[in-house]
Amino acid sequence: MSLPPISPLENLGNRRFSFYPPILNIEHNEWFFRRGTWSEILVVNSRSAAEIWIPRRFLGEVSQIEDPVVIVGLTKELEYKAGAVWPHQRRVIEMPVAVGETPRPSQPASDVPAAAPVIGIRTESVTDSRMGKLIGFTMLVGVVASFVAVNVLREGALRPRMTYNTGDQGYLQLTHADDYHAVVRTLGEPAQDHWQSETGAIQFRSLWYPERGYFVILMGDSRNSARFIGAMDAQWHPIYGIALRAGGTTLSTLRELKKF
């Protein structure tokens, strides 16, 4: 008769070992090897002296480290009941049915809603998102339009109205490149010629043409560089300003210019 195979536990001799995972329903997890057969081995608990047969198919590897004891692996989680070990089965606990409520039958796979309702919900969400964006864009356009209207009205209120009516608009022939001599060649000699001040970072020059009913204004960082920037009526109200390359006109400068 052949002898049973040698278990790795037999090499431990009288040394204690522990199972991992521990066997359920047994408090102390320290064991000694007693003997083995072809199908199982007999181990003894070091505290209670209880003897338990462990099927060989549940035995795993034995650790090489003995700190604090040798660990013998188990391939399944075992539990001790009725004087033997069995694979532990974790059961799913069903929640009790509330009073007055009937148990819900399991829903067959064919009754599971298809993906169509989800697609419909997503489409509705996208539609709501687009509608929200459209409303926001409409409100933005309204705010911008209101802002532009207010600025147009404000510009009209600040811009002096021409109360002097004359058919002479000779100043329209002048450009920003025209100096005093160019103005004289176009409009003739002025009746009056005044500088705003003798010194200053910016020099202003006014040329009065009573027969035409307006002043021609020149400006420059020096008297030699003064060029045409616009015209004032007889009441010193701006009636014309040239366009600037950076945008806008010189009307704002003329409005701030005091009569001299």
pLDDT digits (tens, 9 = 90+) for 38-94: 899 999 999 989 999 999 999 988 887 777 788 999 999 999 998 889 998 877 666
Contact 222, 201 (CB under 8 A): no
- What is the token pair recorded at 68? 């604090």
| pLDDT (tens digit per residue) in 208-243 | 999 999 999 999 988 999 999 999 999 999 999 999
Q: pTM for the whole thing?
A: 0.39
DSSP letter (8 states) at residue 195: E
Reduced to 3 states, what is the DSSP secondary structure of residue 222? Answer: coil
Is 257 within 8 Å of 217 (Cβ atoms)? Answer: yes
DSSP 82: T
pLDDT at 174 over 80: yes
Report residue 187 as tokens: 């409009």
- For 111-130, the three-class secondary structure string (H helix, E strand, C coil) is HCCCCHHHHHHHHHHHHHHH
65-75 residue pLDDT tens: 777 788 999 99
The DSSP bridge pattern shows strands 227-233 and 51-55 to be: unpaired
pLDDT digits (tens, 9 = 90+) for 1-45: 556 666 677 777 788 999 999 999 999 999 999 998 989 999 999
Q: Does residue 151 sit in helix, strand or coil? A: helix
87 and 78 Cβ atoms separated by less than 8 Å = yes
Quote the CA–CA distance of 205 and 260 in Å, as a whole number.
9
pLDDT: is 255 or 107 the higher one?
255
Q: For residues 226 and 203, give the distance between their C-alpha atoms in angstroms, rounded to a whole number.
A: 7
The structure tokens 């072809």 sit at 38
Regarding predicted confidence, which is higher, 98 or 168? 168
Q: E-strand spans in 12-140?
A: 17-20, 31-36, 40-45, 51-55, 59-62, 70-74, 78-81, 84-87
21: cis peptide before it, omega within 30°?
yes
Q: Indicate the pairing of strand 17-20 with strand 70-74.
A: parallel
The label of the residue with tokens 């400006």 reads 219
What the block records as the tokens of 38 is: 């072809």
